[in-house]
Amino acid sequence: MAQLHILHDTLTSSPPSTCPSGTYTATHTELLQAEHGDVEVFRSTVTAPDDASFHFQAVCKMGYGPAIERVKREAGLYQQELKALQGRYIPRVFGLFVGTTSRGPTAALVMSYEGRQLKRPMGCLPLQFRKRVFRGLRRIHQAGVQHGDIREANVVVRRRRDGSYWPTIVDFDNSHTHEHECVNNRNIKIYGSHPRPQIDLCYELTFAGGPDFTDLWRPREWHTICAYGSGARFVLMLLQEGACSRPLRYRLRPPRMSNPSWRPQHT
């Protein structure tokens, strides 16, 4: 059995926790999120008083009162359906601890710290990064879990040793298990045709790859830019310089000329 000291309170490990027996201390360093007072998420440093070499950066998700069951259910998803994805697409779980604190009955889910929230809109990020986000969500669905709250705030990013940026999907307290075969559809391709919801892909993955999130599908409609002369050269310059990271949604054509005198004269 393991114990976790948080401030002046002590919590005890509870199934499905698999952390080694011992005594640990979590020192909160930053409040990352607060939900209606029943759930608080802290960045913390976890240490072991009996082992000076043991320490790691963690996220402690604290649930109070009625929110305890949500935290326990999330821990169950991490340790069962999503266990194989820990450390790659989702955080690693250190343990689940329960007990009584100054806030009353409390549950603490302790996970690895995987980085900060995104500083730029998802659609402005490089294609490779957006593909990694979608791939992670698809792997989560393949594991039989629907996230239930896909938004930019639930994607964090860290820089790896090779200099690349890796996304991690977080916050599964609105998730639930599900079964469908859409994730095995091999006809779904990046920048391919927009999938049909609930036919080619489920609603959640269709949204995840759509223009409001990772923007990986071919646009359903094309919009025409009327440009001529310096205007056309300006648009082409933006495209050549890669000023827009989204898929090209526009075709360029000169404006219609009702007056023949506007046409270039050949001499």
pLDDT at 220: 59
Answer whether residue 178 is part of any domain.
yes
Q: Give residues with Cβ within 8 angstroms of 74, minimum separation 6.
A: 61, 109, 172, 173, 175
Q: What is residue 200's predicted lDDT score, i.e. its pLDDT? A: 83
CATH of the domain at 22: 3.30.200.20
pLDDT at 17: 81
**How many structural domains are present in the chain?**
3
Assigned domain for 217 exists: no
Same domain, 11 and 67: yes
- The pTM of this model reads 0.79
Question: Per the structure block, which two tokens stand in for 224?
Answer: 């025409």
pLDDT digits (tens, 9 = 90+) for 43-52: 999 999 999 9
Q: Say whether both 40 and 125 belong to one domain.
A: no
The two three-digit tokens of residue 194, written as one number: 């927009």
* Bridge pairing between strands 116-117 and 51-64: unpaired
Which residues of the chain are under the pLDDT cut of 50? 222-225, 235-255, 257-267
Largest CA distance in the chain: 92
Question: pLDDT at position 258, please?
Answer: 46
Give yes or no: residues 64 and 145 share one domain. no
Res 230: pLDDT: 53
Boundary residue ending a domain (112, 142, 162): 112
User: In terms of residue numbers, what domain contains 179?
Assistant: 116-208
pLDDT score for 193: 83
Q: What is the CATH number of the domain that holds 122?
A: 1.10.510
Residues 103 and 127 in one domain: no
Read out DSSP for 150-184? -SGGGEEEEE-TTS-EEEEE---TT-EE---SGGG
Tokens of 165: 């940026």
